[in-house]
Amino acid sequence: PSKINLKDYTKPSFDVDTVHLDIKLFEDYAQVDSTLEMVRQTAGDIVLFGESLELLTITMNGKVLTTEDYQQEAGKLTIYNVPERATLDIQVRICPQTNTALEGLYMAGSGDDTMFVTQCEPEGFRKITFYPDRPDVLAIFTTRLEADKRYPTLLANGNLVEAGEVADAPDRHYAIWHDPTNKPSYLFACVVADLDVLTDSYTTSEGREVLLELYAKSADIDKCDVGMQALKDAMKWDEVNYGRAYDLDRYMIVAVSQFNMGAMENKGLNIFNTACVLSSPETTTDARSFSVKAIIAHEYFHNWTGNRITCRDWFQLCLKEGFTVYRDQSFSADQQSSAVQRIDDVATLRAHQFSEDAGPLAHPVRPESFVEINNFYTTTVYEKGAEIVRMIANTLGPDDFRKGTDEYFRRYDGQAVTVEDFLSALSITDDKIENFIDWYRQPGTPVVSGSQTYDSTAQTLTITLNQQTRHVKGFDAPKPLPIPVATALFDKDSGAIVAERMLLLDEATQTFVFENVASEPVVSLLRDFSAPVQLNYDYQDADLAFLLKHETNGFNRWQVTQMLVNRILLQGQGVKSSPDVYLEALAQTLPVLSADDAMLAARLLDIPSAQELASAISKDYDPVLVKEQRDGLYKQVADKLKDQWAELYNNLPMQSYEDSAEARGIRALRNVVLDMALTANVDDAADWAKQQYDNASCMTERFGALKTMVNHQLAGADKYLADFYERFQANDLVIDLWFSVQAAADDVTPDMVKSLLTHTDFDWNTPNRVRSVVSAFSSQPTVLWTAEGLEMYTGVIQKLDDANPVLASRLLQVLARWNTLAEPRRQMAHEQLVDLQKNVSSKHVLESLESV
């Protein structure tokens, strides 16, 4: 498959002014007629993209074109000898009913329960009709939909213009929608379905009355309130924090159960994976419900950062995703404790992005080439992209950052732009911001190391920091990046902060001198995780214990526990710490904290999973050993506090359900304490689990109890699993939990996974269901990295390669760590990947295989 390079970008020869689409859905196909008004921009032919289309006719300015006038090859249709303006009429036939790739227009569901939806980002529109399907071609869309009346819901972007019966076809009806905003084709959407709707309204700061609609199956309409409230909160938040108001009279969200992504920000018509929009206390855990709100906000925020200002080309994906993730993280931080939000965001970044950046799939936040852009919807583009925006925002401070974003919106509204454009707008108050461009270009996680010397005569503290980034194959030798290192000095006697500074490390090695320091302090670095780097500072364990006690915010305290855990488990910087300091510090901190801030207390008990720890290992990785060590430390924590679990658990009584930060904190901590108590073999803990399940007021309590019972293989766990299945049989998203708790169980075997894959409720066509088994099982490295485990895993990829290559390739990326395994696993994994290569053909999977 051929590579596309950023450096080869050229402008399109033709722009599109307007598009009229007429989509008629029939029993086993759809006909799509389009009319494009095209205008020449530069010399050249018209290039349209099209895949899986049956071309019926094509006319230009009224004349039917023949193969003399155009050429069709490999997904492209080139029309020669085009005048300055051209009206193209194109008729194609497509088959949404057999579209299992879930890109373009596809049928979701089965039997009597079907609907038609679209997914066009990044390049799905070319599966609907021939079109200059690239983000820098913006047009005004009018869409007519026609279908059988058993699909009463006919939706497309923009405003409803007209709806009615189809003449001579009493069973059919139509609707016409017009979107007045100029948009790229990846933001096109339509839905043909039978759905209920939850309606609300919002008046913008500009006085616009907006109709809000959330569409779902009638059985799910009672799970839409959380999403609707989040939408209104997000609309308000964007007005207050960025001065951005919504721009159409209608905002629609549609819930779909078969969807590759989490959600999609189509103009005025978001399409959501049901898992990312439906929420109710009885069926949705707190963590899930919180992410529903964040994703609703994320897609809403795209209306300005993505839709009104879009990407010039797909290399610039981080332009909209990095900024929008930063915006949704900031929104979420305002909805709960900002420390916990930062903990969760950093934990995700370290677990997934650092691992990606350390392995063979490492790529810059703005990649320079790709075969298949779907392979680049990665945690590097999204989460590292968000960290870069955060560093810029923190460097500028709130006022100048707001000036910069105002300038960005003022200058580029309605355009398709680049990362350079973004940085140039943000640098209006400080031109050093442009130096952040190297963060977008250079792959690899920088490692910041350092040490300190204290001069008691001069009363100075000198901190020396240096940075190093590994050289990733295929890229230039790494250069130093601008790394903001938030630093505070703590007085050893009083525990108070005596100095605070943002150090900007932008050379390979630098020294920073603090004057008037009366005695040698304890230094706290990278506070609030001020840059996405690995920190190796020459701490003593006692310094870290001191910081755990005196640090002023919850994030920094968590960060210290993570450093301690890493020193114990991974011998950070060659130091092998004994767990004593860590255990003692936890034992002192926890009882007080659990009463003050239960959510934070729950996070402080986090010990990274074996999978996450493995991502820091670059050679001779032994999954069994890592799991043993990890579980060993977990057990030591549980034992150390064994006498306290009962009291802690009883101090967190179950109450009737409430959706407050405090109640969520109590539920989170209770689940952690329950698991710790079972790990420490506390008498009665098994009964607590059963009672918690039986008396649960919500899914967080019920599922927390179930998970613990399954992971500790409690007698009766099977009975509870069966009960859970029965209670929630009708709810796909809960049954996904039922699958995942078994597939990710501590004692899962390849045979157990096999039986889940052949369960009557297993469905290869529903990505959520596939992930609920396959991704869940890959979180157990000791099972994944066995001959049988890998055979099953690669078998899944092979099976999905043709049917749903986007999903197949995504699942494959998990295997990128094979290269770090100790023998004989490494050789065994290699052989299986070589075998897989012979049996797959999608460019998605082939590109990923080539990289891993």
Q: Which is nearer to ligand DPP, 186 or 724 (CB)?
A: 186
Choice from 264, 419, 531, 816 touching ligand DPP (CB under 6 A)? 264
In which residue are the tokens 């989170």 written?
668
What is the identity of the amino acid at 52? S
- Shortest Å distance, C-beta 676 to ligand DPP: 36
- How far apart are the C-alpha atoms of 311 and 385, rounded to whole Å? 14
- Shortest Å distance, C-beta 265 to Zn ion: 6
- How far apart are the C-alpha atoms of 786 and 312, rounded to whole Å? 44
- Shortest Å distance, C-beta 298 to Zn ion: 6
Q: Which is nearer to Zn ion, 285 or 324 (CB)?
A: 324
Q: Which is nearer to Zn ion, 122 or 579 (CB)?
A: 122
Choice from 117, 263, 586, 602 touching ligand DPP (CB under 6 A)? 263
- How far apart are the C-alpha atoms of 811 and 770, rounded to whole Å? 10
- Shortest Å distance, C-beta 366 to ligand DPP: 16
DSSP state of 101: S
- Shortest Å distance, C-beta 325 to ligand DPP: 8
Q: Which is nearer to Zn ion, 183 or 217 (CB)?
A: 183
Single out the catalytic residue among 103, 121, 265, 299. Answer: 299
CA distances from 162 to 115, 143, 183, 539 (A): 21, 11, 21, 69
- Shortest Å distance, C-beta 800 to Zn ion: 24
Q: Which is nearer to ligand DPP, 311 or 709 (CB)?
A: 311
Q: Which is nearer to Zn ion, 310 or 324 (CB)?
A: 324
Q: Which is nearer to ligand DPP, 268 or 623 (CB)?
A: 268
- DSSP code per residue over 506-539: -SSEEEEEE----SPPEEE-STT--SS-EEEE--
- Shortest Å distance, C-beta 272 to ligand DPP: 9
Q: Long-range pairs for 657-663 at CB < 8 Å and ≥24 separation?
A: 657/281, 657/697, 657/698, 659/281, 659/289, 661/336, 661/337, 661/599, 662/598
- Shortest Å distance, C-beta 335 to ligand DPP: 19
Q: Give the angle 752-753-754 at the CA atoms, nearest 5°.
A: 90
Mask for 500-539, x = binds ligand DPP (CB under 6 A):
----------------------------------------
Q: Is 299 a residue of the active site?
A: yes
Is 311 a binding residue for ligand DPP by CB under 6 A? The answer is no
- How far apart are the C-alpha atoms of 303 and 32, rounded to whole Å? 27
Contact status, residue 358 vs residue 618, Cβ threshold 8 Å: yes
- How far apart are the C-alpha atoms of 697 and 188, rounded to whole Å? 41
Choice from 154, 261, 774, 806 touching ligand DPP (CB under 6 A)? 261
Closest CA to 781 of 616, 631, 622: 622
The count of C-alpha atoms lying within 13 angstroms of the C-alpha of 281, restricted to the half-sphere facing its C-beta, is 12
400 binds, among ligand DPP, Zn ion, none (CB under 5 to 8 A by kind): none
What is the identity of the amino acid at 210? V
Strand partners, 200: 212
Q: Which is nearer to ligand DPP, 253 or 548 (CB)?
A: 253
Q: Which stretch binds ligand DPP (CB under 6 A): 94-102, 262-270, 541-549, 735-743?
A: 262-270
121 binds, among Zn ion, ligand DPP, none (CB under 5 to 8 A by kind): ligand DPP
Helical ranges in 174-310 per DSSP H: 225-242, 286-301
- How far apart are the C-alpha atoms of 204 and 419, rounded to whole Å? 29
- How far apart are the C-alpha atoms of 852 and 845, rounded to whole Å? 11
- How far apart are the C-alpha atoms of 340 and 332, rounded to whole Å? 10
CA distances from 84 to 35, 37, 45 (A): 17, 11, 11
Contact status, residue 157 vs residue 110, Cβ threshold 8 Å: no
Tell me phi and psi for residue 111, to 5 degrees: 60, -130
Choice from 133, 286, 299, 612 touching ligand DPP (CB under 6 A)? 299
Choice from 321, 597, 701, 801 touching ligand DPP (CB under 6 A)? 321
Contact status, residue 285 vs residue 701, Cβ threshold 8 Å: no
Is 102 a binding residue for ligand DPP by CB under 6 A? The answer is no
- Shortest Å distance, C-beta 769 to ligand DPP: 20
123 binds, among ligand DPP, Zn ion, none (CB under 5 to 8 A by kind): none
Q: Which is nearer to ligand DPP, 230 or 583 (CB)?
A: 230
Choice from 51, 103, 121, 286 touching ligand DPP (CB under 6 A)? 121
Torsion sign, CA atoms 675, 677, 683, 687:
negative
- How far apart are the C-alpha atoms of 432 and 444, rounded to whole Å? 22
Instruction: Kindly determine how many residues on this chain lie close enough to bind ligand DPP according to the rule CB under 6 A.
Output: 9
Contact status, residue 91 vs residue 65, Cβ threshold 8 Å: no
- Shortest Å distance, C-beta 809 to ligand DPP: 16
Cα 534 to chain centroid, rounded: 21
264 binds, among Zn ion, ligand DPP, none (CB under 5 to 8 A by kind): ligand DPP
Q: Which stretch binds ligand DPP (CB under 6 A): 29-37, 258-266, 365-373, 647-655?
A: 258-266
CA distances from 239 to 87, 235, 326 (A): 40, 7, 16
Q: Which is nearer to ligand DPP, 119 or 711 (CB)?
A: 119
Q: Which is nearer to ligand DPP, 309 or 783 (CB)?
A: 309
Q: Which is nearer to ligand DPP, 337 or 374 (CB)?
A: 374
- Shortest Å distance, C-beta 122 to ligand DPP: 8
Tell me phi and psi for residue 756, to 5 degrees: -70, -40
- Shortest Å distance, C-beta 314 to ligand DPP: 11
801 binds, among Zn ion, ligand DPP, none (CB under 5 to 8 A by kind): none
Q: Which stretch binds ligand DPP (CB under 6 A): 177-185, 297-305, 556-564, 793-801?
A: 297-305
179 binds, among Zn ion, ligand DPP, none (CB under 5 to 8 A by kind): none
Residue nearest to ligand DPP (CB): 264
- How far apart are the C-alpha atoms of 833 and 794, rounded to whole Å? 8
Record the tokens describing residue 653, joined without a space: 């009584």
Q: Which is nearer to ligand DPP, 270 or 424 (CB)?
A: 270
Record the tokens describing residue 500, joined without a space: 């605070």
- How far apart are the C-alpha atoms of 196 and 205, rounded to whole Å? 29
Contact status, residue 637 vs residue 586, Cβ threshold 8 Å: yes
Q: Is 719 helix (H, G, I), strand (E, B) or coil?
A: helix
Contact status, residue 700 vs residue 660, Cβ threshold 8 Å: no
Instruction: Kindly determine how many residues on this chain lie close enough to bind Zn ion according to the rule CB under 5 A.
Output: 2
- How far apart are the C-alpha atoms of 39 and 42, rounded to whole Å? 9
Closest CA to 582 of 602, 594, 596, 568: 568
Contact set for Zn ion, span 311-350 (CB under 5 A): 321, 324
- Shortest Å distance, C-beta 410 to ligand DPP: 24
Contact status, residue 492 vs residue 459, Cβ threshold 8 Å: no
Q: Which stretch binds ligand DPP (CB under 6 A): 66-74, 240-248, 294-302, 611-619?
A: 294-302
Choice from 103, 146, 179, 265 touching ligand DPP (CB under 6 A)? 265
Q: Which stretch binds ligand DPP (CB under 6 A): 260-268, 454-462, 516-524, 559-567?
A: 260-268
Residues at the site binding ligand DPP, with contacts judged by CB under 6 A: 121, 261, 263-265, 298-299, 302, 321
Q: What amino acid positions are annotated as catalytic residues?
A: 299
Residues at the site binding Zn ion, with contacts judged by CB under 5 A: 321, 324
